[in-house]
Chains A and B, each alone.
Chain A
Amino acid sequence: KAGVTQTPRYLIKTRGQQVTLSCSPISGHRSVSWYQQTPGQGLQFLFEYFSETQRNKGNFPGRFSGRQFSNSRSEMNVSTLELGDSALYLCASSLGSGGTYGYTFGSGTRLTVV
């Protein structure tokens, strides 16, 4: 059974650009959540999608957005990149929403903004 796949693994972008990250969940998982991980703030919840609907959103500016497709694959987009957006972005999938049964995480996309 394939795990959660995130692409790309590494990305370098310039301030002001935009970026799109991709996540393929475990087959059968309908929930996909996104987290931002930085050394100072730990794992910060961005948003969760379940059956193509955004179920929950964390406390991030509108520059951070996401979507989920009918096959449960998800993308997140960050527009007008800032230096502080440099982080490890983690995607996680689950059978149900809300995290009660735990999430399976991908290896992450390391985004560096210069």
Chain B
Amino acid sequence: GQQLNQSPQSMFIQEGEDVSMNCTSSSIFNTWLWYKQDPGEGPVLLIALYKAGELTSNGRLTAQFGITRKDSFLNISASIPSDVGIYFCAGPANSGAGSYQLTFGKGTKLSVIP
């Protein structure tokens, strides 16, 4: 099935630094979603992308839908301690017979050093 490869697996950064993470697939996705999960909670939707080449911001977060439709990037500017968590990319993968299921990457665990 369609799989999403996320990198890096984990990051340790200094407070105030910018962060970049990405997600790639061997298959085309028509939608890219980015989620953040805090410890002990469910993932929360950060940004949704629906068009190739689209660049969308949500505060200090910016995500881009790759032109090839096989990748997406998430950038966080001027990181703060509350950015700590696991970031997931996700997209609806074709599971056959015209149905789709939301598939997730394995996540990027972000740690921010004050």
Contacts and interface: CB of A to CB of B under 8 A. Distances in A.
Interface of A: 4, 33, 35, 42-43, 45, 48, 55-56, 58, 90, 92, 97-108
A92 B92 CA distance: 14
Nearest to A45: B101
Contacts of B85: none
Interface of B is mostly: strand
B59 interface: no
B99 interface: yes
Contacts of A35: 104
Contacts, number: 63
Contacts of B99: 55-56, 97-98
A105 B101 contact: no
B114 interface: no
Nearest to A94: B102
A102 B45 contact: yes
Interface residues of B, number: 24
A78 B99 CA distance: 24
Given A42-B107, A43-B88, A105 B44 contact: yes
A24 B104 CA distance: 22
A32 B90 CA distance: 17
A33 B101 CA distance: 9
B100 A90 contact: no
